[in-house]
Chain A
Amino acid sequence: MSDKMIINGVEKKGYTRDDRIAQMKFAQRKPHGNLADPRLRYDYLNREIGTLPPDTEREPFRWVSELAYKNIHRIVTRGWCTTELAEAGYGIVDYLFINWQARIPLEEERDVLDYCMVLGLEDGLSNPALIARLITRGKSYLTQACGGSVLAFGHSFASYDSTGKMILKYVGKVEEGMSLDEAAKLCVQECKKEAHFGISKLYAKDPTPKKLLDYAEKKLASIKKLRYVPFMKALEKAAKAEDSALCVDMIGALSATMLELEFTADGAWVLMGVTRAFAAGAHGLEEMEREGNDVLGQVLTPKEWYDGPADRPVPSLAERKGLAGAQSQEPKEWQANWKKRQELKGTGYSVDFVIEDPKKAAMKQHKKK
């Protein structure tokens, strides 16, 4: 069989072979703009029209899931009927283990996750609550306020994924033979300036994170060998050697504990994000009850807060013809222009974006497989 795509005896240049194309109609079109340019990869003036016929050689589309299925009379997650689970007495925290880890947790594990979720529920007027309140002020559905609050969880605020992955990296070094204290010291050296470090001065006067680590240790030590909570304690000790005011914070304690419960770093991130969304709903409700709504155009922005270009007349369209474009032709000129554009904020030119070394990214990808 030829790999060429032949339609009505004529080879279609630039087409990958797919016999379904031959079943389709072709339409001759007028050559608008550049569409008759011979440099185009294929013939834009005579392409097939209509949708590609169904692929009968492969299995038809279905939603593939290892998480859950349902039929007319049963809903099953990870092999267990959800109704039978509820009737047997399992609760929402058990369901989280079942759904995310395909197993029934020990009571001790359930208790520790419950503790984490109580701590993660509310954090005063921090970002998720504020987002929820702002959304509610627009008289949106409350669900939008709750959903919007989850978007606050990034790589700085509530960075469970980054903190979790940091802990996994250095605990991995312990498993490769480095001592716990050495790994903790190395982590301090390499990560102390990161927003997701998990050790800070934020909880210097609030023992809650420390109490969580102690609770997790007390509950879980008898049922498994702990790896992450001891690392976080060692990390705190190593950090304190540099600055005694430093101590484990909520993101550090919760991330270590969630890993101890066998949740992945990504899993912990979104699980805690949804936990907080419940409280965001309450903040949204309070905003409705106590504050009210805004309308478009209502809120002013004082001129004193503005430090952009001074007020200037809009040039006429005729004057615009003399304006220069943004193009640079040589790398040095382009680099100088990039720096100059950083002077104006809100353009994106001052935001750092580090492209990872392709070799390192490749190693990660292989690990994932």
Chain B
Amino acid sequence: MDRKPLIQRKTSISYKTEEKTVLRGYNVSDLAEAGYTFVDALFVLFQGRIPAENEKKMLDYEIACFMEHSMSPSAVSAIGVMNGHPMLPPAVAAAISTFGGAHGPGAAHGYMMKKYLDRAANEGKTIEQVAKENVDEYMDAGLAVMGMGQPQHIDGDPRAHPIHLKHEELGVEGVYRKFQTAVENYFWERRAKEGKSYVGVNVVGAGNTALCDIGFAPYAAWTIGSVARGFSCACHALHQYKRARAWSASRSEPMVQMLDLSMIKYVGPEDREVPPLSERQAYAKKQLESGEWRKWVL
């Protein structure tokens, strides 16, 4: 059997010989034998260090809270992909890939915190001052303040405040928690002054803050959260595969299915005759010149 590496790369993450696999200097077998957990290993992987016990507890709590979120873009994607009965991995890959600009836990929240904390460090401002600037700059521009608001949990994400309390209880608070708290307080104060409704902190605002305080770079935090969700999405995909009908369109199911034909509402151009190829050039030229098609371009 050919055991040569497929591509050549310098790496500081790990090496693997016929005798052992070494992660950031630690033999992975020794880590497991010594009683370290998967959560500990995530610290070794992304930070090259063994975490303090409370840091490990914080990460364990956060990813456990985050793993399942019922019908969110990630689970719906897994279910949608599984409707076609491919292998399971593509459904999970699609689910993990849904984490982007709108569906948390975005790295953007972490780097937003970094941007304003850098401002505090470089310009000698307090954390409260830069938190206020953050909220004002985003709200003045009509943008959502990252880490605040969730379209389903309109009274505040049920995971968020308990994560904040756990963060505090475990004593792993640092600059990120101070910053996030200042953002939340000023955000609520300003919305109240403007007569706007309450918008709670979301799981990104709470969870990402905790992950950054326990030493994860925002990108690493994003990876951990998104991939943790992959576990539950794999389960949603399995559920779709084993309990539901492929296609989700069957008429014999007692409930109208997701892909029943009646579920489609078409709002595109009216039905029209296909021009014969002999008339194509004249037809296409007239259509091109009319410009009406432009409003449909995606």
Contacts and interface: CB of A to CB of B under 8 A. Distances in A.
A68 B138 CA distance: 37
Interface string B33-60: 1111000000001111111111100000
The A interface, classified by DSSP as helix, strand, loop or mixed, is loop
B22 interface: yes
A100 interface: yes
A264 B121 contact: no
Interface in A314-361: 314-317, 320-321, 323-332, 334-335, 338, 341, 344-349, 351, 353-355, 358-359, 361
A271 to B, nearest CB: 11
Contact of A41 (B30, B200, B215): B200
A26 B26 CA distance: 50
Given A103-B293, A331-B175, A353-B219, A85 B274 contact: yes
A344 to B, nearest CB: 5
A18 to B, nearest CB: 8
Interface stretch (B226-234, B236-244, B282-290): B282-290
A105 B297 contact: no
B202 to A, nearest CB: 12
Interface stretch (A31-39, A112-120, A204-212): A31-39
A85 B275 CA distance: 8
Interface residues of B, number: 118
A349 B217 contact: yes
A134 B1 CA distance: 17
Interface string B86-126: 11011001000100000000011001101101101110000
A51 B61 CA distance: 25
Given A320-B53, A348-B220, A69 B274 contact: no
B266 A317 contact: no
Interface in B128-150: 137-138, 140-143
Contact of A62 (B2, B46, B264): B264
Nearest to B130: A331
B298 A64 contact: no
Nearest to A82: B274
Contact of B111 (A71, A78, A314, A355): A355
B264 A70 contact: yes
Contact of B25 (A81, A106, A312): A312
A344 B51 contact: no
Contacts of B298: 67, 100, 264, 267
B54 A325 contact: yes
Which 9 pairs show the lowest CB-CB distances between chains A and B?
Answer: A326-B215, A348-B217, A308-B12, A327-B174, A309-B25, A348-B219, A102-B296, A69-B266, A362-B141
18 contacts: A34-B169, A76-B266, A79-B270, A81-B274, A103-B288, A103-B293, A106-B284, A140-B89, A141-B86, A300-B5, A301-B11, A317-B34, A325-B51, A325-B54, A335-B117, A344-B12, A344-B48, A347-B217
